């Protein structure tokens, strides 16, 4: 129960992994809605040279460091409240002097863990909507910004599937 409101978070969460090239679920787990998502990120389940695109709820520096040691690339959206130190950075501007994208090499420090990562920030332009800045976090320093963005966008195929399930099987 929440101390101030007395309300209890009910419901269920579905955690799922999909092979992007197959579009088929390979691992589905259910937890209570109150459970923190990051415990579901198990570096031991991933193979050398795999690429994992995940929701920002799974951010866990210790597990990110394990993924990096296993040579598994991760891509996730940044949380707004993350604290980090910028080690290096560059920004690409368009002809009007507006930012097109920014790349930063950063270090996250927490509980004796120093995790070095790359933040790719780009302007996301959607039809009929205001453009907004999106920051993606990855441990890959070689792929282009466009490739990192494309990997993260592939993650949305799972969101489309969940939307379809909710429409066809209302709870």
Please indicate whether residue 6 or residue 131 has the higher confidence score (pLDDT): 131
The alpha carbon of 92 is separated from its chain's Cα centroid by a whole number of angstroms, namely 23
Q: Domains of the chain by range and CATH?
A: 49-168 (3.90.350.10)
Q: 65: how many CB neighbours lie within 10 A of its CB?
A: 18
For residues 17-27, average pLDDT? 59
Q: List CB contacts of 72: < 8 A, sequence separation 6 or more.
A: 43, 46, 47, 48, 49, 50, 51, 52
Least reliable range by pLDDT among 24-33, 66-75, 129-138: 24-33
Buried b (16+ CB within 10 A) or exposed e, 133-152: eebbbbbbeebebeebbebb
pLDDT digits (tens, 9 = 90+) for 94-147: 898 888 899 999 999 998 899 999 999 999 887 778 888 999 999 999 999 999
Average pLDDT across the chain, whole number: 81
Q: 107: how many CB neighbours lie within 10 A of its CB?
A: 13
For the record, the structure tokens of 148 come out as 């990192």
Query: Which pTM value belongs to this model?
Result: 0.76
* 148 phi/psi in degrees, rounded to 5: -60, -45
Q: What percent of the chain has pLDDT over 90?
A: 36
């Amino acid at each position: 129960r929440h101390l101030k409101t007395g309300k209890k978070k009910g419901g269920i969460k579905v955690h799922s992994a999909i092979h992007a090239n197959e579009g088929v679920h390979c691992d589905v787990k259910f937890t209570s809605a109150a459970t923190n998502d990051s415990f579901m990120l198990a570096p031991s389940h991933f193979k050398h040279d795999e690429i994992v695109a995940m929701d920002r709820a799974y951010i866990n520096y210790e597990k990110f460091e394990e993924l990096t040691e296993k040579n598994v690339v991760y891509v996730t959206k940044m949380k707004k409240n993350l604290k980090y130190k910028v080690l290096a950075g560059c920004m690409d501007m368009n002809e009007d002097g507006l930012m097109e994208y920014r790349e930063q090499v950063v270090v996250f420090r927490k509980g004796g863990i120093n995790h070095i990562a790359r933040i790719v920030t780009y302007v996301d332009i959607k039809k009929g909507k205001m453009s907004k800045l999106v920051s993606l976090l990855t441990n890959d320093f070689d792929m282009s910004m466009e490739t990192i963005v494309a990997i993260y966008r592939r993650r949305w195929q799972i969101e489309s599937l969940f939307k379809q399930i909710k429409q066809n099987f209302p709870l």
